[in-house]
A = this chain, B = another copy of it.
């Protein structure tokens, strides 16, 4: 099935709205439905298919609720971590998912994502556009304890999925131990105990043959 999704074409445009602010908010709520169609390289734990960014974001937000006690700095604002995880991948609606081990894709990732942020957040009322943009930029910059913790979760979740699917995405893309250590060791800055746990998984993955040593 294919549907016309533009509000204007539905004859339910801005002119029918008593509240332009609500209208913009609803427009954004509709737009971000597209995150459900941005697929990642990570396999679901049952191996049935790859996961999408909306599911991934939900998983991270719920992990943030549960794993906050493992953050590097005590007393971080877990609610802000949750908000960051909810919005951290929205720019991929336009920019697409860049696999963490894709070096070619990484080169213009920042430019593609900035353009996406410009378009997407501008759909919101200006105060909320600024708020969402700030959350996303905080996540990307990894300069606050909250952002470092959110980034650690964003590495832990696919790592768990790779380990418990016997290295499905690693094998598929020929990813090696040194790359996994290199791209994940920043977890230690946001959540040292989670990194210690992740490192054990990685070593065990090599032993079990899920991940190539070199």
Q: Write the residues of chain A forming the contact surface with B, with a CB cutoff of 8 angstroms.
A: 1-5, 10-12, 16, 19, 22, 25-26, 28-30, 32-37, 43-48, 51-52, 54-55, 57-59, 61-63, 65-67, 70, 79, 82-83, 86-87, 124, 128, 157, 160-161, 163-166, 168, 193, 197, 200-201, 204, 208
Contact = CB atoms under 8 A, between A and B. Distances in A.
Contacts of A59: 29, 32-33, 54
Number of copies: 2
A8 to B, nearest CB: 12
Contact of A164 (B5, B65, B193): B5
B36 A55 contact: yes
B45 A160 contact: no
B58 A61 contact: yes
Q: Is the interface of A mostly helix, strand, loop or mixed?
A: helix
A186 to B, nearest CB: 19
A182 to B, nearest CB: 23
Nearest to A16: B200
Nearest to A21: B69
29 contacts: A1-B47, A4-B166, A5-B45, A11-B208, A19-B197, A22-B193, A25-B66, A25-B67, A28-B66, A29-B62, A29-B157, A30-B45, A30-B164, A33-B46, A33-B59, A33-B161, A34-B45, A34-B46, A37-B48, A54-B55, A54-B58, A54-B59, A55-B58, A58-B61, A61-B61, A65-B86, A66-B124, A66-B128, A79-B82
